[in-house]
């Protein structure tokens, strides 16, 4: 597991950890059942507080990406491919809804939005 912390991004450290672990689970880099570092180990490796590491793990457990077994550690949760795909599409829908709202509020037409999206996707 690779986590890079940016102290200048303005994003809370626990959110950076969550985002990176979530991305590694979604990409398959972290596999179901894989053991993650303990909270104390993660905090020590990243030079962060234990409360920050615990917050990241707790949030990811609440989202179903991780699970904790008392006395055994924190593990990557089993996720069906359909669940992962639905999560990705749901997050994409949220981002596109925000972009659509911006476009409506600023007079950008649907064809213009479509053209920009095609350019971004490289089509």
The dotted CATH code for 13-76 is 1.10.10.10
- Report pLDDT digits (tens) over 40-84: 999 999 999 999 999 999 999 998 899 999 889 999 998 777 777
Whole-number pLDDT of residue 21: 96
- Report pLDDT digits (tens) over 83-109: 778 888 888 999 999 999 999 999 999
How many CB atoms are closer than 10 A to CB 119?
9
Contact between 76 and 25 under an 8 Å Cβ cutoff? The reply is yes
Rounded to two decimals, what is the model's pTM?
A: 0.72
Domains of the chain: which residue ranges?
13-76, 81-121
Nearest one of 42, 29, 86 to 68, comparing CA atoms: 42
Residue written as token pair 């999206």: 117
Nearest one of 74, 55, 44 to 16, comparing CA atoms: 55
């Amino acid at each position: 597991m690779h986590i890079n912390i940016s102290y200048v991004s303005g994003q809370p450290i626990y959110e950076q950890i969550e985002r990176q672990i979530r991305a590694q689970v979604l990409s398959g880099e972290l596999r179901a059942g894989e053991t993650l570092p303990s909270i104390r180990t993660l905090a020590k490796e990243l030079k962060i507080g234990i409360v920050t590491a615990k917050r990241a793990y707790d949030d990811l457990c609440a989202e179903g990406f991780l699970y904790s077994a008392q006395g055994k550690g924190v593990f990557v949760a089993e996720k069906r491919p359909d669940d992962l795909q639905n999560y990705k599409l749901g997050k994409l829908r949220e981002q596109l809804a925000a972009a659509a709202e911006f476009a409506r509020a600023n007079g950008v037409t649907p064809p213009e939005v479509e053209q920009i999206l095609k350019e971004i996707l490289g089509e």
